[in-house]
């Protein structure tokens, strides 16, 4: 066992050490070699070191260099080494984090992390939280609590009686809501399409003055951090308008919620704490390994009402927090440990620096591209840059060449009807030199085609 785990660690360490020197995107040859995995189910197994070697020899080169400093696609963090290390150790524990009585270490660590997150985001002290797979499920979990509360206020127990015959819930979403938020609404029986869209401005931000009048049970979904522009809905202003209406205000802050962790960028989320629930990712801007989202809910009892179960065989009676009371899953890994490691390592100031560095890098990208004569479509207020290089065909061709060059990786998007390239800076290890090197390549390729 020891040799095997050391072999895995050595291979992982080599992968991380070499990430800076390889092409960010895997080569076509490396992808072609993946055919080796398409074998029939073997009748007999093999030695563990043999399969590990195969995984590394064929899998590693064909992986996307997402953990490297010049991956700017989607909104993806790169897992700080300390969080990979804590992840390895907690994988060795392999705790099934449901009940405090069974997994006290993981349960207590999560409880502590919850307190730290409340402090970082400056949220109400009695919030409840679920440590889930990502922001999609964080949105789902928080909205399940919202559904529970607005229907309970209308005299309906949705957990017991379902939605058939329930009072109708109006759901308001911003015109630029993330598709996973709509998917969460669909999974909750609230429908992806029966939402009322709120008007947004040029940066995709909801216009507070145009939020419709509230009648009956209502859930209002806002966004902190638009995945293209990085823009923010005016959360505080909307909460003020809705005060006394009984509407539940939810904030999808997959990455943008982390602006609250920085004294410099906190101004982007005035009134954040006035909302009722918040969803975010740790695997994006906090740079912990994938599979780490967090649902935070002001009215913890409603999250618990939506998620908690009892069974004769489950030792749920305890004075402590049972993690599975707040998540859709009963069985899951100890993902709160990764969040603990990140926060314990960085401290409050380190988290702020991480956020600010990424935003400054995005600003540098924006300025460099504008100086080179290209049109940046968004106000670069956070870590996102949206740039066009002419018509859709030219822009897509340039993006394709940038990806194939391998120095950096940026993806495409359509922003307010225009095909564009999106740069998202989320990685803890990105330096000014990485930005300059990437800018050189982007500008050279773009100029060759325009």
Ligand X SMILES: Cc1ncc(COP(=O)(O)O)c(C=O)c1O
Please say whether the dihedral angle defined by the alpha carbons of residues 125, 131, 132 and 134, taken in this order, is positive or negative: positive
Rule CB under 6 A: say whether 178 interacts with ligand X: yes
> Shortest Cβ distance from residue 132 to ligand X (Å)?
9
Of 226, 277, 212, 281, nearest in space to 251 by CA: 277
CA–CA separation, 205 and 188 (whole Å): 25
Of 80-88, 147-155, 223-231, 312-320: span binding ligand X (CB under 6 A): 223-231
Sheet-wide strand order for 293-297: 128-132, 293-297, 277-281, 248-252, 218-223, 170-174, 196-198
Q: Which is nearer to ligand X, 136 or 357 (CB)?
A: 136
The closest residue (CB) to ligand X is 134
Instruction: Please give the helix or strand (H or E) that residue 250 lies within, else none.
Output: strand 248-252
Candidate list 110, 233, 252, 276; residue touching ligand X; CB under 6 A: 252
DSSP state, residue 270? T
Candidate list 135, 286, 297, 442; residue touching ligand X; CB under 6 A: 135
DSSP state, residue 347? H
Rule CB under 6 A: say whether 227 interacts with ligand X: yes
Rule CB under 6 A: say whether 95 interacts with ligand X: no
Rule CB under 6 A: say whether 75 interacts with ligand X: yes
Candidate list 77, 130, 134, 204; residue touching ligand X; CB under 6 A: 134
Rule CB under 6 A: say whether 275 interacts with ligand X: no
Rule CB under 6 A: say whether 130 interacts with ligand X: no
Under rule CB under 6 A, which residues in 285-304 are in contact with ligand X? 293
> Shortest Cβ distance from residue 193 to ligand X (Å)?
18
Residue 97 structure tokens: 């984090």
Of 286, 331, 280, nearest in space to 141 by CA: 280
Contacts for 388 with CB less than 8 Å, ≥ 6 apart: 374, 375, 377, 395, 418, 419, 420, 421
Q: Tokens 């015109």 belong to which residue?
A: 175
> Shortest Cβ distance from residue 183 to ligand X (Å)?
9
Rule CB under 6 A: say whether 250 interacts with ligand X: no
Residues that bind ligand X (CB under 6 A): 74-75, 134-136, 178, 180, 223, 225, 227, 252, 254, 281, 293
């Amino acid at each position: 066992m020891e040799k095997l785990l050391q072999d895995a660690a050595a291979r992982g360490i080599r992968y991380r050490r070499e990430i800076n020197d390889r092409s960010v995107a895997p080569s076509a040859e490396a992808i072609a070699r993946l055919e080796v995995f398409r074998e029939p189910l073997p009748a007999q197994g093999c030695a563990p070191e043999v399969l590990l070697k195969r995984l590394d020899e064929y899998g590693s080169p064909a992986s996307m260099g997402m953990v490297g400093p010049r991956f700017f696609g989607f909104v993806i963090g790169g897992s700080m080494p300390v969080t990979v290390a804590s992840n390895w150790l907690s994988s060795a524990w392999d705790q099934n984090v449901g009940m405090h009585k069974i997994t006290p270490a993981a349960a207590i660590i999560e409880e502590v992390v919850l307190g730290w997150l409340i402090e970082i985001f400056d949220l109400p002290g009695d919030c409840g939280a679920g440590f889930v797979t990502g922001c999609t499920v964080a949105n789902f979990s928080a909205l399940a609590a919202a559904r529970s509360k607005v229907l309970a206020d209308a005299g309906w127990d949705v957990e017991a009686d379902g939605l058939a015959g329930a009072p109708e819930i109006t759901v308001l979403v911003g015109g630029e809501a993330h598709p996973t938020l709509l998917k969460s609404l669909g999974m909750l029986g609230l429908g992806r399409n029966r939402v009322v869209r709120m008007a947004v401005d040029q940066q995709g931000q909801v216009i507070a003055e145009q939020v419709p009048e509230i009648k009956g049970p209502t859930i209002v979904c806002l966004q902190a951090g638009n995945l293209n522009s990085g823009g923010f809905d005016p959360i505080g202003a909307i909460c003020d308008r809705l005060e006394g209406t009984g509407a539940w205000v939810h904030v999808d802050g997959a990455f943008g919620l982390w602006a609250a962790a920085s004294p410099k960028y906190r101004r982007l989320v005035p009134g954040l704490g006035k909302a009722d629930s918040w969803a975010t990712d740790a695997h994006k801007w906090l740079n912990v390994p994938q599979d780490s989202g967090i649902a935070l809910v002001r009215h913890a009892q409603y999250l618990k009402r939506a998620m908690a179960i009892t069974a004769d065989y489950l030792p749920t009676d305890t004075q402590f927090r049972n993690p599975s009371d707040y998540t859709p899953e009963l069985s899951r890994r100890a993902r709160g440990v990764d969040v603990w490691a990140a926060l314990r390592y960085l401290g409050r100031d380190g988290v702020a620096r991480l956020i600010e560095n990424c935003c400054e890098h995005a600003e540098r990208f924006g300025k460099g591209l504008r100086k080179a004569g290209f049109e940046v479509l968004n106000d670069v207020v956070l870590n996102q840059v949206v740039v066009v290089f002419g018509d859709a065909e030219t822009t897509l061709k340039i993006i394709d060449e940038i990806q194939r060059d391998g120095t950096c990786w940026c993806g495409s998007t359509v922003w307010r009807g225009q095909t564009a390239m999106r740069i998202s800076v989320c990685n803890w290890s990105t330096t000014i030199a990485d930005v300059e090197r990437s800018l050189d390549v982007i500008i050279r390729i773009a100029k060759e085609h325009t």
